[in-house]
């Protein structure tokens, strides 16, 4: 079974072909022409596969198109084409890759409200100095970098005594 993007792509291709072969104005209302009947049936099928909730609207336009009033029939056909163009646009948008993430990726996560979303509860921040030598004092300072890449001034240095000096 094809995935959703493949199906919408195939439907989009079929829709492009349908719009390219729209019956000419001069023979559009010739209901006895097999090519016009086939075109309208394909259009109804495409609308149903694109968005089944729009099928009833298309069916009503189809009814108006086959009515006696030429002006009403012309308007109905134009509305059918508008519906098909909406489907074409919608399918094209579905197939396009997203433009990307808006905003900057923040530690707290992107959200649409003022309250930041905190980091995952299981996240623990720590630094392990593997080059620290036993018996020596070690000095550490913290810098922060915001999402725009601006580096803060260093926080006050912290002196950490070695484990051996703490025991004494």
Contact 90, 50 (CB under 8 A): yes
User: What distance in Å separates the CA atoms of residue 40 and residue 9, rounded to the nearest whole number?
Assistant: 21
Q: How sure is the predictor about 136, in pLDDT bands with cuts at 50, 70 and 90?
A: confident
Judge if pTM exceeds 0.75: no
Residues with Cβ within 8 Å of 16's Cβ and at least 6 positions away in sequence, in order, are 88
- Across residues 31-59, what is the average pLDDT? 92
pLDDT in tens, 75-130: 999 999 999 999 988 888 776 655 555 566 555 555 555 555 555 555 666 777 88
Reply yes or no on whether the pLDDT at 71 is more than 60. yes
Extents of the domains making up the chain: 4-95, 138-167
How distant, in Å, are the alpha carbons of 68, 125, 132 from that of 157?
Answer: 88, 18, 16
Q: Which two tokens stand for residue 55?
A: 């099928």
* pLDDT reported for residue 159: 77
User: Which phi and psi angles does 44 have, rounded to 5°?
Assistant: -60, -40
Q: Which two tokens stand for residue 105?
A: 């990726």
């Amino acid at each position: 079974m094809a995935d959703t993007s493949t199906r919408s792509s195939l439907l989009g291709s079929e829709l492009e072909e349908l719009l390219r072969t729209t019956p000419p104005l001069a023979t559009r209302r010739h209901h006895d022409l097999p090519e016009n009947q086939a075109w309208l049936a394909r259009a109804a099928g495409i609308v149903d596969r694109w968005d089944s909730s729009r099928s009833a609207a298309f069916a009503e336009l189809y009814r108006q198109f086959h009515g006696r009033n030429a002006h009403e029939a012309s308007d109905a056909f134009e509305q059918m084409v508008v519906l098909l163009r909406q489907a074409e646009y919608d399918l094209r948008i579905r197939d396009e890759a997203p433009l990307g993430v808006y905003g900057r990726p923040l530690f707290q996560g992107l959200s649409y409200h003022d309250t930041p979303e905190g980091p995952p509860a299981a996240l623990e921040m720590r630094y392990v100095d593997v080059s620290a030598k036993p018996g020596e004092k070690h000095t550490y300072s913290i810098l922060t970098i915001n999402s725009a890449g601006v580096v803060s001034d260093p926080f006050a240095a912290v002196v950490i005594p070695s484990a051996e000096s703490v025991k004494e």
